[in-house]
Copies of this chain bind each other. A is one copy, B any other.
Amino acid sequence: MKVGILGTGVVGHALGKGFITLGHEVKMGAREATNEKAAAWAKEMGPKASHGTYADAAGFGDIVVLATLGAAYAAVIAAAGPDRLKGKIVIDATNPLDFSKGMPPGLTVGHTDSGGEQVQRAAPGARVVKAFNIVGNPSMFRPDYPGGPPDMLICGNDAEAKREVTKILHDFGWPLVTDLGGIDASRYLEALTIVWVRYGAANGTWSHAFKLLKK
């Protein structure tokens, strides 16, 4: 499978490395084709990795991962080209974090709208699936906890796309995946990230992940 990653930060690195480890080809996209972080990442990852612009990565991928800062989504999708994303699965791993009032961050949008819905509207032909946004990047690939596997929660409007992303999540080491509904459920999954952040700040831990206990 060919995967385009939009974003050169820690989330893009973690997910890109996961796909490479599983044998897929990954192109990391940045604003400039000469982005040094993307070039260094591709060099480190070897022959299955490459890099280019957002548009290069969007055109390359059978599936595309949005892994930018939440605030950047509009510019990144515009640069990637919504037409290049048409019909493709777009994994939205972002959160619309609002740092304008200091720490801990809030959300720039919520309740009646969400980052996931904004992404879907910005790329209306894409099959957007929210995933990976509720956990820190070190735990995104093969999470390993004494308490067993954590839960991954996803949402999106396209059932087939969610099935594909669920398979990818299984390959990534997330056997427990729950589909919470349409992309509007991003309203709750993005709020969950704030719970994750505040829990981390209160307990001085950043390796935590959600699990749903059952009887």
**CB <8 Å contact, A214 and B210:** no
Instruction: Give the interface segment out of A79-87, A120-128, A195-203.
Output: A195-203
- Give the dominant DSSP class at A's interface: mixed
Q: Considering the complex, give the chain B residue whose CB is closest to the CB of A107.
A: B111
**CB <8 Å contact, B178 and A203:** yes
Q: How far is the CA of A215 from the CA of B144 in the complex (A)?
A: 8
B interface footprint on A111-145 (CB within 8 Å = 1, 0 otherwise): 11000000000000000000000000000000011
Which chain A residues numbered 171 to 188 have a C-beta less than 8 Å away from chain B?
A: 178-181, 185, 187-188
**CB <8 Å contact, B205 and A180:** no
**CB <8 Å contact, B188 and A194:** yes
**CB <8 Å contact, B199 and A180:** yes
**CB <8 Å contact, B199 and A207:** no
B interface footprint on A69-103 (CB within 8 Å = 1, 0 otherwise): 00000000000000000000000000000000000
Which residues of the other chain, B, contact A109 by a CB distance below 8 angstroms? 111
A49 within 8 A of B: no
Q: Pick the residue among B144, B198, B209, B214 that contacts A208 (CB under 8 A).
A: B214
Which residues of the other chain, B, contact A209 by a CB distance below 8 angstroms? 212-213
Which residues of the other chain, B, contact A180 by a CB distance below 8 angstroms? 195, 198-199, 202
Which residues of the other chain, B, contact A111 by a CB distance below 8 angstroms? 107, 109-112
**CB <8 Å contact, B211 and A211:** yes
Q: Pick the residue among B145, B185, B195, B215 that contacts A192 (CB under 8 A).
A: B195
Which residues of the other chain, B, contact A214 by a CB distance below 8 angstroms? 145, 147, 203, 205, 207-208
Given contacts A110-B111, A210-B210, 12 further A-B contacts (CB under 8 A): A104-B181, A147-B147, A147-B148, A153-B195, A178-B202, A178-B203, A188-B192, A189-B195, A191-B192, A199-B212, A207-B214, A211-B213
Can you sample 22 A-B contacts with CB below 8 Å?
A110-B110, A110-B111, A111-B112, A145-B214, A145-B215, A146-B215, A147-B211, A147-B214, A150-B213, A153-B195, A178-B202, A180-B195, A180-B202, A187-B191, A187-B194, A188-B194, A191-B192, A209-B212, A210-B211, A210-B212, A211-B211, A211-B213
